Amino acid sequence: QSLEDCPLDEDEDAFQALGEEDEDIDQFNDDTFGAGAVDDDWQEAHERLAELEDKGVPSRDPDGPVGNDGDVLGDSEDALAERLTRLVIDSDLEDPAIMQAVHTSGHSQPGALNSSIWDSSAVLRRIRGPLLAQEMPSVSVLDYALPQRPPQAREEERDPSERALPRRSSSPIIGSPPVRAVPIGTPPKQAAIPNFNQQVPPRFPPLRGVRDASRGVTVSLPSSQILCPKPVHIRATMQQRYPTPYGERMSPNQLCNVPNSSLLGHPFPHSVSPVLTHLQRAQLLGGAQALSSHQAGRMSPSQFARVSGLVGSPLPSVNPKLLQGRVGQMMPPAGGFRAFFGAPPAPPPSQLPHPPGPGSHLQNLRLVPSLSRPLPCSRCPPLTLPALPRPQVFRPDTTHLHPQHRRLLHQRQQQNRSQHRSLNGSGGDRGGHRSSHQEQIRKDPYANLMLQREKDWVSKIQMMQLQSTDPYLDDYYYQNYFQKLEKLAAAEEVHGDGPKKERTKLITPQVAKLEHTYKPVQFEGSLGKLTVSSVNNPRKMIDAVVTSRSEDDETKEKQVRDKRRQTLVTIEKTYSLLLDVEDYERRYLLSLEGERPALMGERKQKICDMYDNLRGKAPGQDRLSDDHFMQIMCIRKGKRLVARILPFLAPEQAADVLMATARNLPFLIKKDSQDEVLPCLLRPFSHVLYHLPLGTVTSLVQQLTNLPQSAAAPTNPHLTAVLQNKFGLSLLYLVLSRGEELQSSDTNTELIQDNQWTELMLMATRELLRIPQGVLAKPVSIPSNLISLFSRYVDQQKLNLLETKL
Amino acid sequence: LAALPRDRPALSFPAEKHLVLLRDGRTLIGFLRSIDQFANLVLHQTVERIHVGKKYGDIPRGIFVVRGENVVLLGEIDLEKESDTPLQQVSIEEILEEQRVELQAKQESEKLKVQALKERGLSVPRADTLDEY
């Protein structure tokens, strides 16, 4: 083959060499597209390649034979490269990467030797082929995040292809099946890298490197971006590209060959910070993985956690390739190699001096001895470097996930931080304890599996779920609970001087209320409106019509049932009103000054409504009938409702309610026998009582005892029933006590009242005496002034009896 | 994770032991390594702890990946307080035996109950028609 005949004589004229290169290229062409290719049908191959680009499926192109050829070709290209580099004036650049870079840059010089090569359409085609093939081998999260890029990529290719080395004549093989969709749980990458969604280098080289088989990876970068758009052909097996002066260390050239290595084509970024695109980063990170055989398919933001720090970091213009060629290392934000081996925040900075010039990379290279391993290495890259202050433990048993070293770095950083913290004595004992704890279990390699970013992401999701425009509406119990706790804490604090325990309160994000008026979808030009039913605009499925039943047909039971139902409805309505009224206080505090009178007015109105509901609306009618009220009171919920409403009612209204209750007490007692809810009324009743004048009290007692009966009646069933019931008795006592209070406090009581009162008292005492002890109910509380009350009306003997009874 | 201020961020080094209660009643204790928005958990060096009365036993289980919907609660174990419990740790066999005994006793009492109800003409709702919890 003419390839082998390619002269390596140094003295040969470069142009001549180039001429011969033409032949080589033709040969390359043949191999790829012509007869030499296994697949004779170049169209098919091309289509496959095109498909590759579209779908990102790496196709296994004719691998074997072409690959072999490729190697051979590569060798010859090596020779060419070598020859070309000797043309380079700058002799400082000994570094192979530099040479290579110069090589590429040399091509861009006008009138360069290479123009004939690089400009040839054949070359372009050849370049593009691999480019197409290589470009989107795998789908990643970014795929759906960013729009498709292939057309743009092709454009880019045209530009940088002149500078790119023609790496391969054969189509590149991306060996492993593509890494497909990221698991759902992972946070999206672009969340943390907002800068990078301009143009879309959407796809990544497969993160799982198949070292042997993979051929090349092209990275297309947005040209408008700072970093050059560079399709980078990376040879797979160009082990001997340059004689490596660095021993077993993987030369950057080797790194070139490593798939997913993040070598970028352009050696000299135009003195701007290499803003890395997703692709680059992926490569960076992918490169990290490349060295480890454990290529988890998962692309996760954790990969970018570090890299995002690289945004805007001005890498030295010298050799970004080299920098990024640090397979398995991340570019620190600090730039240069400084934080190369350490976590960015707490890097061991002094280890790697910022490379001032081309010469320094050598040094840096030397510092990478253990980093770069020969490809077949199946261990994760050891991060122990002599430069490091703290040698990192090599994790032998990592069988799974991807950016291990990143995690290690992060973990180291965490160690650093937490050690700092503990050393600083934050938390005092706790810190000290923790540091010793740390010393003991220092080597927990599984900690920090989740990066802070991921944790923040999950937290963010959870907080978003807590967003609410009206927390009292959405999360009433939570709010109330914490209010109670706070009150308790405040009370405690007031009492004791102990250290106030920090109550960590979750501050939920508050979202402003936005009024969304839903407008149904309308299309222009359509006749009429479309009936599109959606969540906001549901379609009516059932025609539910309310039919009122005729009164005649109903049986008595039905009527009763209906009445009960109506009562229930009334109770519910009143309850809503009540809840609203109770809420007014809070709203009052939250509202603006101008709105407050309106609020108060509303509140008053609602209270009136409540009362009306209770007593039965019928303003024209004389409120003689307690029927409505009784109905409500027969229902357990109704009783509770009344108890809650009472505080809001005006005194007269409250007294009215009380009277009604007292009047019908036996009935209520009978109805309450199962529920026993009446005592709940006691407290509000007592509150009401304290505001009642004597007259009312008297009539209350009257009601209670139902005295208009003939005094001669031996028994007073009303009173008896009252006395026998806990609630009744308690209520009676309360009323009596109130009366006594009034009497004793105010000596100017009216005589009429006195008479009535005296009579009532006599009656009451008589009854009390008469009733056997056992039957007497146990009241909730016995007011203390009852004895004094009774003492006015009975003699001592009876008083003693009464006392025993009470 | 991050909302509540703490001295140490969650899921950090040194790792904290967490206790997870599952819907089926199991108690898992392990190092929580990862979590997501569905409360799916990754537990490392997990131990299933069975409690019977005052005794408990640990069964080492390895790595657990728990689907979020099955998690009832998750809490961090205070390593200092972990040691002073009134509970007594026993061997696995013993605790399993105890559990079996307890289960048996429960079943028998359940049977008696059902029997008694049947005698009185009342029917017991079948378990599958009931909601689980």
For residue B19, the model assigns a pLDDT of 94
B68 falls within a domain: yes
Question: Count of CB atoms within 10 A of residue B68's CB?
Answer: 14
Closest alpha carbon to A709 in A661, A655, A763 = A763
Inter-chain residue contact B12 with A418, CB threshold 8 Å: yes
**How much of chain B, in percent, has pLDDT values that exceed 90?**
40
CA angle (A712, A657, A597) in 5-degree steps: 155
Mean pLDDT of A201-222: 42
Here the contacts of B26-30 (C-beta below 8 Å, separation 24 or greater) are B27/B51, B28/B61, B28/B64, B28/B66, B29/B58, B29/B77, B30/B61, B30/B64
Per the structure, the count of domains in chain A is 2
Nearest to B2 among A430, A434, A456 (CB): A456
A747 falls within a domain: yes
Least trusted range by pLDDT, from A346-355, A590-599, A650-659: A346-355
Inter-chain residue contact A446 with B15, CB threshold 8 Å: yes
Give the residue from chain A lying closest to B45, CA to CA: A446
Do A767 and A683 lie in one domain? The reply is yes
Do A641 and A723 lie in one domain? The reply is no
Mean pLDDT of B82-99: 86
Report yes or no: A294 at the B interface, CB cutoff 8 Å. Answer: no
> Residue A601: which residues within 8 A CB-CB, separation 6 or more?
none
Task: List Cα–Cα distances, B78 to B60, B85, B86, in angstroms.
Answer: 20, 12, 15
Tell me: pLDDT of A462 over 80.
yes
A375 falls within a domain: no
Q: How far apart are CA A347 and CA A336, in angstroms?
A: 12
For residue A186, the model assigns a pLDDT of 55
For residue B101, the model assigns a pLDDT of 92
For residue B72, the model assigns a pLDDT of 94
CA angle (A524, A528, A530) in 5-degree steps: 80
Phi-psi region of A514 (alpha: psi -120 to 50; beta: other; left: phi over 0): beta
Q: Which of A73-77, A187-191, A317-321 has the highest mean pLDDT?
A: A73-77
Do A726 and A763 lie in one domain? The reply is yes
Domain boundary, last residue among A624, A649, A674: A649
A361 falls within a domain: no
> Residue A428: which residues within 8 A CB-CB, separation 6 or more?
none
A725 falls within a domain: yes
**pLDDT category of residue A144 using cuts at 50, 70 and 90:** very low
Q: Which residue range forms the structural domain that includes residue A606? A: 552-649
Do A634 and A657 lie in one domain? The reply is no
Tell me: pLDDT of A451 over 50.
yes
Do A633 and A732 lie in one domain? The reply is no
Report yes or no: B62 at the A interface, CB cutoff 8 Å. Answer: no
Give the residue from chain B lying closest to A416, CA to CA: B13
Do A679 and A790 lie in one domain? The reply is yes
Average pLDDT, chain B: 83
Least trusted range by pLDDT, from A171-185, A478-492, A729-743, A749-763: A171-185
Question: Count of CB atoms within 10 A of residue A592's CB?
Answer: 7
A762 falls within a domain: yes
Element holding B94 (H helix, E strand)? helix B92-119
For residue A66, the model assigns a pLDDT of 44
B4, B13, B16, best to mutate vs chain A, most A CBs in 10 Å: B13
DSSP state of B61: E
B2 falls within a domain: no
Tell me: pLDDT of B27 over 90.
yes
> Residue A205: which residues within 8 A CB-CB, separation 6 or more?
A134, A137, A138, A174, A214, A217, A219, A259, A260, A279, A282, A283, A286
Give the residue from chain B lying closest to A446, CA to CA: B33
Do A764 and A683 lie in one domain? The reply is yes
Cis-peptide, bond into residue A345, ω within 30° of zero: no
**pLDDT category of residue A68 using cuts at 50, 70 and 90:** very low
With a cut of 0.90, is the ipTM above it?
Answer: no
**CB of A258 closer than 8 Å to CB of A211:** yes
Do A599 and A715 lie in one domain? The reply is no
For residue A637, the model assigns a pLDDT of 85
Nearest to B15 among A185, A447, A506 (CB): A447
**CB of A317 closer than 8 Å to CB of A266:** no
Do A638 and A659 lie in one domain? The reply is no
Do A662 and A741 lie in one domain? The reply is yes
Here the contacts of A515-523 (C-beta below 8 Å, separation 24 or greater) are none
Mean pLDDT of A314-342: 40
Do A675 and A738 lie in one domain? The reply is yes
pTM of the entire predicted model:
0.42
B5 falls within a domain: no
Least trusted range by pLDDT, from A13-27, A250-264, A618-632: A250-264
pLDDT digits (tens, 9 = 90+) for A635-648: 888 888 888 888 88
Per the structure, the count of domains in chain B is 1
B31 falls within a domain: yes
**CB of A351 closer than 8 Å to CB of A367:** yes
Tell me: pLDDT of A115 over 50.
no
Tell me: pLDDT of A704 over 50.
yes
B72 falls within a domain: yes
For residue A633, the model assigns a pLDDT of 83
Tell me: pLDDT of B41 over 80.
yes
pLDDT digits (tens, 9 = 90+) for A384-421: 334 434 443 444 333 333 444 445 555 655 665 555 55
For residue B103, the model assigns a pLDDT of 92
B3 falls within a domain: no
A666 falls within a domain: yes
For residue A43, the model assigns a pLDDT of 78
**pLDDT category of residue A157 using cuts at 50, 70 and 90:** very low
Tell me: pLDDT of A657 over 70.
yes
Nearest to B7 among A411, A430, A441 (CB): A430
Least trusted range by pLDDT, from A99-113, A506-520, A620-634, A661-675: A99-113
Here the contacts of A146-149 (C-beta below 8 Å, separation 24 or greater) are A146/A190, A146/A197, A146/A200, A146/A201, A146/A202, A146/A278, A147/A200, A147/A202, A148/A200, A148/A202, A149/A199, A149/A200, A149/A201, A149/A202, A149/A203, A149/A220
CATH code at position B85 = 2.30.30.100
Inter-chain residue contact B13 with A414, CB threshold 8 Å: yes
Q: Which residue range forms the structural domain that includes residue B52? A: 17-120
Beta bridge partners of B71: B22
For residue A799, the model assigns a pLDDT of 72
A335 falls within a domain: no
A397 falls within a domain: no
Copy the structure tokens of residue A316.
């030295």
For residue A329, the model assigns a pLDDT of 42
Q: Which residue has the higher pLDDT, A98 or A609?
A: A609
B4 falls within a domain: no
Tell me: pLDDT of A98 over 60.
no
3-state per-residue secondary structure call for A260-278: CCCCCCCCCCCCCCCCCCH
* Interface subset of B 20-39, CB within 8 angstroms of A: 31, 33-38
Do A605 and A686 lie in one domain? The reply is no
For residue A232, the model assigns a pLDDT of 46
For residue A163, the model assigns a pLDDT of 52
Inter-chain residue contact A447 with B14, CB threshold 8 Å: yes
B7 falls within a domain: no
Q: How far apart are CA A787 and CA B68, in angstroms?
A: 66
For residue A12, the model assigns a pLDDT of 53
